[in-house]
Amino acid sequence: MKLALAIVLAASCGVLAPAARADLRPGRPIFVRGFETPAEARRWVLASQAAMKSGEGDRGKALCDERGWAVNLVGGSGNTLESLFSQGARKGWRLVFDEDASRPVGDGAGVILRTSVRDNATEKNLDQVWVLLVKVKVEGESRWVALGAGEKVADVEALGRRFLAGKPLAPPAE
């Protein structure tokens, strides 16, 4: 009886209501509920942190698709992946991803990760970067690599659509 009363009381106070999510506001892209970030994506984030910490460009390059390493495939809000890794090493920050905000690209072809740029010394979040990871075949083996990164998710999603459609990856001229 006491337990039932406590549940009714908690429900009437709004304790059991789910928290509001900023990503579900009108006009914002809807995240896929129930999507589980692939383990390979988690491993990619850890490897990217180690690459930035080491400052060895080859380690960062090994985590990226060569098409996006030296060329900004995202467009206006993006940058080259080479710049992302070199800035991380030079400025002492790393990428930390928000697993709840990751979303699938195609049917297992990739994933878009929302990452925070976090300062290693102060642990403060400095910025937000969306990273598109895609599954590619390298010497017969499937690998997850970064294809592009940018500050606006719509730009990164557009790159994902171009990748899936087999279209040229360069962003359209503005």
Tell me the percentage of the chain whose pLDDT exceeds 70. 79
Mean pLDDT, rounded, for 130-155: 93
Q: Is residue 8 a part of any domain in this protein?
A: no
CA separation for the pair 169, 45 (Å, rounded): 23
Q: Is 113 part of any domain?
A: yes
Q: Give the count of domains, the chain.
A: 1
Nearest to 81 by CA among 48, 124, 109: 48
* Mean pLDDT, rounded, for 124-143: 92
Burial of 61 (0-12, 13-18, 19+ CB in 10 A): middle
Q: Is 75 helix (H, G, I), strand (E, B) or coil?
A: coil
DSSP-based three-state secondary structure for 142: strand
Question: Which residues on adjacent β-strands are paired with residue 104?
Answer: 111
3-state SS assignment for residue 148: strand
Residue 10 pLDDT > 70: no
Domain-embedded: residue 92: yes
pLDDT higher than 90, residue 169: yes
Phi, psi of 8 (to 5 degrees): -65, -45
Is 30 domain-assigned?
no
Within-domain flag for 123: yes
In a domain, 17, yes or no: no
Tokens, residue 160: 């994902």
DSSP 174: -
Q: Which residue has the higher pLDDT, 155 or 18?
A: 155
Question: What mean pLDDT comes out for the span 137-163?
Answer: 94
What CATH number did the domain enclosing 84 receive? 3.10.450.50
Kindly state whether residue 20 falls inside one of the protein's structural domains.
Answer: no
Domain that holds residue 154: 35-165
Residue 1 forms part of a structural domain: no
